[in-house]
Amino acid sequence: MTGPRILIVEDERAIRLALSGLLKREGFTSEQAGDGRAAIALLEAESFDFVLTDLALGEGPSGMDVLRAAKASQPETPVVMITAHGNEKVAVEAMKAGADDYVPKPFDNDEIRLVVRRCLERTQLARENRLLRARVEKDYGMGNLIGSGPGMRQVFETIQKVAETDLTVLIRGESGTGKELVAQALHEQSSRKGRPFVAVNCAAISRELVESELFGHEKGAFTGADARRVGRFEAADGGTIFLDEIGDMAPETQAKVLRVLQERSFERVGGVQPIDVDVRVVAATHRDLEKDVASDRFREDLYYRLKVVELPLPPLRERREDLPALTERFLGQLAERLGRPAKPLGEEALAALARHSWPGNVRELRNVIEQAAVLAPGERIEPGDLNLGTGPSRNAAAATEPHGDLTFSDAKKASVERFERNYLLSALRQNDGNISRTAEAIGMVRQSLQQKIRDLDLRDEDWNADE
């Protein structure tokens, strides 16, 4: 079998032959084009696994034209641009147009090898992930749900039976079991697919604002209501509204939700005009609603209105047979996001996952797998790489608490930046500050690592400083 086919587009014959010889020694086969016109003709006639093209090709079509032709005829084929010294700005424009990377002249052989390998690995990984998702979807799941055991098969059967109806569904399950994914699957399997899916976390909205959030308000309805606002029910018209943690909803708001379920209409806060809506309601809770009804914390009439169809979700500890498929899904998704091959899970690590009690359910599993995949020092994930503590530490709890006036998005961005900074500093120190070695060790292209260092404002003294 021949290796990946590479198209080399370079108007300087010596460079073209040198690149061809280099790639041949790496096990690749190559076709050569001395100008843009010949390259475009080859792209239209044949298929290639990789395109390496100079930006400046003399007379006729340029490297940008070759890039556009490649992406038009073979969208998945990675394209890397060779640029003259000082043309980094043009290279950035090329990447915006779809190029996967660029290599500035003069370049060395190791740099070319690394760029070609990484791009081909990313392309292969993307293809494998698509095939994997298709296979998992066919064999084990529905949408983003995965499961092969009796508990999840019952969930899938219930979804298929009730999706095409407008019956209200109450999803029951512990935190982290994937209740919102089930609600999305109900929506996607129904005739309402393509219409809005609006999710509301009832526990995250203050009592003072919950009615405005759900039903909207008119201008001047209360202090600060400077304009009319459309509520979540109105925004979901024609689609599905998902009321998560409905057991934490205030009693006065429960009465208004009951009216929407009964009459399919409501008024905005401060308004008198009824607004009719066509909305499918899916609710979820981890609470014991029967106990809450008995203690008058939850309205009995609303409880029975919501519980037309009850859909219980099994906790992860009761569906351990799904651990391999779930783990494979999370590793594949992370690898696709990071643009590098998935790190496999060792058999002993999988056994350790099976022994764990999973108090945080699937959400906890995703966090454990993603952390291990990024931080594991070896070629595969071993038991010692898995953070399977009995509960969150004080430091972890502090990291997830709201900080001052930061929004969730800002807090998440700050946490990611802290992780990237610490991770890159550690890698740079391990490789004595050598950018090329560090890039290869962590699976990044050198230029991407250099850009990330600039983005994080890292300096030599940061990674050369004594611990």
- Give a yes or no: residue 184 inside a domain: yes
Q: What is the count of structural domains for the chain?
A: 4
| Long-range contact set of residues 39-44: C-beta below 8 Å, sequence gap at least 24 | 39/7, 39/9, 39/66, 39/69, 40/65, 40/66, 40/69, 42/7, 43/7, 43/69, 43/70, 43/73, 43/74, 44/69, 44/73
Helices (DSSP H) in 275-320: which residue ranges?
289-294, 300-306
- Give a yes or no: residue 49 inside a domain: yes
The verdict on 293 and 193 lying in the same domain is yes
What is the structure's pLDDT at 32? 93
Helices (DSSP H) in 26-174: which residue ranges?
36-45, 63-73, 88-96, 109-140, 150-162
Residue 287: which CATH number?
A: 3.40.50.300
Note down the domain range covering 75: 5-107
| pLDDT tens sequence for the chain (467 residues) | 457 889 999 988 999 899 999 998 888 888 999 999 999 999 999 889 999 999 888 888 988 999 999 988 888 889 998 887 666 777 788 888 888 888 888 888 888 888 888 888 887 777 766 665 555 454 444 667 888 788 888 999 999 999 989 999 999 999 999 999 999 999 989 999 889 999 999 888 877 788 888 998 888 888 877 888 889 999 999 999 999 999 998 888 899 899 999 999 998 888 888 999 999 999 999 999 999 999 999 999 999 999 999 999 999 999 988 898 899 889 988 888 888 788 888 889 988 999 999 999 999 999 999 999 998 888 889 999 999 864 443 333 334 444 444 455 555 566 677 777 777 887 888 887 888 888 877 877 777 787 788 778 787 766 765 44
Residue 323: which CATH number?
A: 1.10.8.60
Q: Closest Cα to residue 37, out of 72, 13, 74, 62?
A: 62
* Kind and range of the H or E run holding 172: strand 169-172
The verdict on 201 and 245 lying in the same domain is yes
pTM over 0.85: no
The verdict on 219 and 183 lying in the same domain is yes
The verdict on 325 and 274 lying in the same domain is no
The verdict on 184 and 94 lying in the same domain is no
- Give a yes or no: residue 121 inside a domain: no
Residue 413: which CATH number?
A: 1.10.10
Backbone angles phi, psi at 364, to 5 degrees: -65, -40
- Give a yes or no: residue 143 inside a domain: no
Cis peptide before 314 (omega within 30 of 0): no
The verdict on 279 and 366 lying in the same domain is no
- Give a yes or no: residue 124 inside a domain: no
